[in-house]
Structure 1
Amino acid sequence: MTQRTTVTAPDGVSLAVHTYTGIDPRRPTVLAIHGYPDNHHVWDGVAQELGERYNFVAYDVRGVGESSRPASRSGYQFTHLVDDIGAVIDSLGVGEVHLLGHDWGSIQGWAAVTDESVMGKVASFTSISGPHLNYAGRFLRSPRTPRAVADVARQFLASGYIWFFLCPGVPELAIRSGATMKVFAAVERIGRPRGAGSRPAATTRSIDDYLNGLNLYRANMPGPILAPPARLPQTRVPVQVLVARQDYFVSPALQRFTGSIPPDSRIVQIEGGHWVVTSHPDVVAQHTSDWVNSVVAFDTPRNSL
């Protein structure tokens, strides 16, 4: 069970924050951010693994789970998403947190750790299956060898669902018909061990999680991918990228590319598909713990960019 509190974002949206453990200021705090079309429950298995050693907190992204919905689509833009992360961190009263993000949660995490307003509040970041969108755009323009061209082509095909989500009205019809849920449930089985006991994320999602979460795509894409800036965002936060080998949506090649942002990053390949956080929560927890401990133990310096 979690303890639920409410944090009000700067624009008035109510964010449901779920604390899996008591907040002990003597322990590192892990703040987890879920992706689409999930809610905070996607982290239940990881929280169970980490709860004895860390403060573990997750929140429902705006419009999803128990959080309220912005008045308009513009309320899902990165500016608000980054503000949300900052507001949740401030509410915990622990100073810095160790961010853990999956899918759109990781995309938001990249936006936060490259934003000066939040960067100083984050001690480390573990990214899973979610690139910085500007770096994704650069990746699609990066091939110089036949193998690199193949990697980009593979990612371009895997990202075809994005254009579908951007179509007005059509994704809503697919969601209400149940077809989208079946597709996601099928993809979620990729990389899942036989007899895996962890609960699939599909069992915890509501139709509103699917419908409202579409606004993440529509408010923030495709601009950063089609026209990345000449100078890509930088961060001083130590970053770990966990690369799921069987990820259907975010290719290992793209995930390794996003890991090039900070000079002290670490890239670790792990078994599993896109929903490795539910299929292999013990693996995700172990690597997260290793990264947090290394940052805490060595107090990684953050030199000025």
Structure 2
Amino acid sequence: MCTGQFSDQPMTEPKAPLPNHRQVARGNVTLAVYAWPSPKPEADPVILIHGYPDSAQVWRETAERLAEHRPVFAYDVRGAGASSAPKALRDYRLEVLSEDLLAVIQAVSPRRPVHLVGHDWGSIQTWESVCSPRFEGRIASFTSISGPCLDHVGHWMRAGLLSADPRRWADVFGQLAHSWYIGLFQVPLIAPMAWRVAVGRQWPRVVERLEGMAEAPRFATQTRDGVNGIALYRANMRRRLLAPQRRTAAIPVQLVTPRYDPFVTEALTDSLAGWVPHVRRVPVYAGHWLPLTRPDFLASTVEAFIASDAA
């Protein structure tokens, strides 16, 4: 059953303010962490991890709604927003990003497990932690939005291409068509230059067209975030897709899958049950940027999952 109703009703920039941030140090990097106080401070907290080319600002309205039930935190991943931006490509590998998340968890909830919500690359990088024994007892649940585990994708692509079923070939090549830009990101200079010259300035209009929004939010660090975040693709895509590891998750996982996502197809998660025994799927008639377009739906879906027996 598909949850939610797709709508192209005009959206305006979120009105909820972004709280002042604190700095969490991790090696030579500082991460900007934002906190939304809750009338229920005793509840297990939620940490929100944003994707590309966003910053924690994308979570403003969703976080405000979730904070009615529990403490909420979000942070700018390295390279985005007010966080540090290392220059070396190796500093954006998934293993490094996982250590960043661990530092944030230790800083905001050292004694209680946390619920994680990741969107786009925020979800991709969070799979690294969700599937790691190092995080046992620290993570209570994970809601994944439009961001699969790259190792799972690598296994899925390999199995699809080796299959005798032409439908599975179609699924793989269909996803490759949706991911055309990833190859462009591997070419030196072109993508960063495009962001600096035109894409950064035009990005809100791109989101407006893709999501049916009247006015997408304008963020001061948009061009910087777009340029720096290219390192996520260069540091991880080829090495994980061509040599995928075996990744299993013991915690409850909720997949929110937008039916009109132009970048991530639902077929990507068809074989997920083999890697994640406790998985719940929530398809929704919406586009890619649910944190911007459907904050009420997203917050209620996350809270319902946390409150359920599954989590």
The alignment partner of 2:90 has SS state of helix
2: CA distance, partners of 1:253 / 1:181: 33
Match of 1:142 in 2: 159
Letter in 1 for 2:227: L
Taking CA–CA contacts closer than 8 Å with sequence separation of 6 or more, which of the two structures ends up with the larger relative contact order? 2
**Cα drift, residue 201 of structure 1:** 4.8
State the 4+ residue runs in structure 1 displaced beyond 6 angstroms: none
**Following the alignment from structure 2 to structure 1, what is the Cα–Cα distance between the partners of residues 158 and 204?**
29
Question: What are the residue-to-residue correspondences of 1:4-15 with 2, within 5 Å?
Answer: 4-9=21-26, 11-15=27-31
Match of 1:45 in 2: 61
Hey, what's the Cα distance between the residues in 1 that align with 2:91 and 2:225?
Answer: 16
C-alpha displacement at 1:188, in angstroms?
5.3
- Aligned pairs, number: 290
Q: Compute the displacement of 1:253 (Å).
A: 1.1
Question: Any idea what SS the aligned residue of 2:286 has?
Answer: strand
What residue is the counterpart of 1:98 in the other structure? 115
Q: 1:171 aligns with which of 176, 191, 202?
A: 191
- In the alignment, the residues of structure 1 paired with residue 166 and residue 197 of structure 2 have an alpha-carbon distance, to the nearest angstrom, of 41
Distance of 1:119 and 1:271 partners within structure 2: 34
Give the CA RMSD over aligned residues: 2.1
CA distance in 2, matches of 1:257, 1:218: 26
Equivalent of 1:234 in 239, 243, 248: 248
The one-letter code sitting in structure 2 at the alignment partner of 1:172 is P
Cα 1:138/1:159, change in 2 over 3 Å = same
Report the equivalent of 1:216. Answer: 232
Say which of 95, 102, 111 aligns to 1:79: 95
Q: Is the 8 A contact 1:241 1:259 kept in 2?
A: no
Question: In 2 relative to 1, CA 204–244 (structure 1 residues): closer, same or farther, beyond 3 Å?
Answer: farther
Match of 1:303 in 2: none
- SS of equivalent to 1:237: coil
The CA distance in 2 between the partners of 1:205 and 1:71, in whole Å, is: 17
Q: Distance in 2 between matches of 1:211 and 1:186?
A: 16
The CA distance in 2 between the partners of 1:57 and 1:79, in whole Å, is 21
Rounded Cα–Cα distance in structure 2 between residues aligned with 1:23 and 1:90: 22
What is the SS of the residue equivalent to 1:65?
A: coil
Task: From the superposition, tell whether residues 44 and 259 of structure 1 become closer, same or farther in structure 2 (CA, over 3 Å).
Answer: farther
Pairwise CA distance, 1:268: 1.0
**Structure 1 pair 257–21 and aligned structure 2 pair: CA distance change class (3 A):** farther
CA gap 1:7/1:287 in 2 versus in 1, 3 angstroms = same
Is 1:124 the counterpart of 2:149 in the alignment? no
Contact 2:278 / 2:310 at 8 angstroms: preserved in 1?
no
CA contact (8 A) 2:40 2:68 kept: no
- Asked if 1 retains the 8 angstrom alpha-carbon contact of 2:94 and 2:236, the reply is yes
What runs of 5+ residues in structure 2 fail to find an aligned partner? 1-16
Distance across 2 between alignment mates of 1:201 and 1:154: 30
Between stretches 16-25 and 220-229, larger displacement belongs to 16-25
Task: Choose the corresponding residue for 2:258, options 234, 241, 244.
Answer: 244
**Cα deviation 1:272-303 (Å, max 9, x = unaligned):** 11112211111111110111111xxx375xxx
Q: CA deviation at 1:28?
A: 2.3
Q: How far off is 1:69 after superposition?
A: 1.6
SS at match of 2:83: coil
Distance 1:79 1:87 in 2: 13
CA contact (8 A) 2:52 2:229 kept: yes
| Equivalent-residue separation in structure 1 for 2:82 and 2:63 (angstroms) | 19
Q: Could you tell which deviates more after superposition, 209-218 or 18-27?
A: 18-27
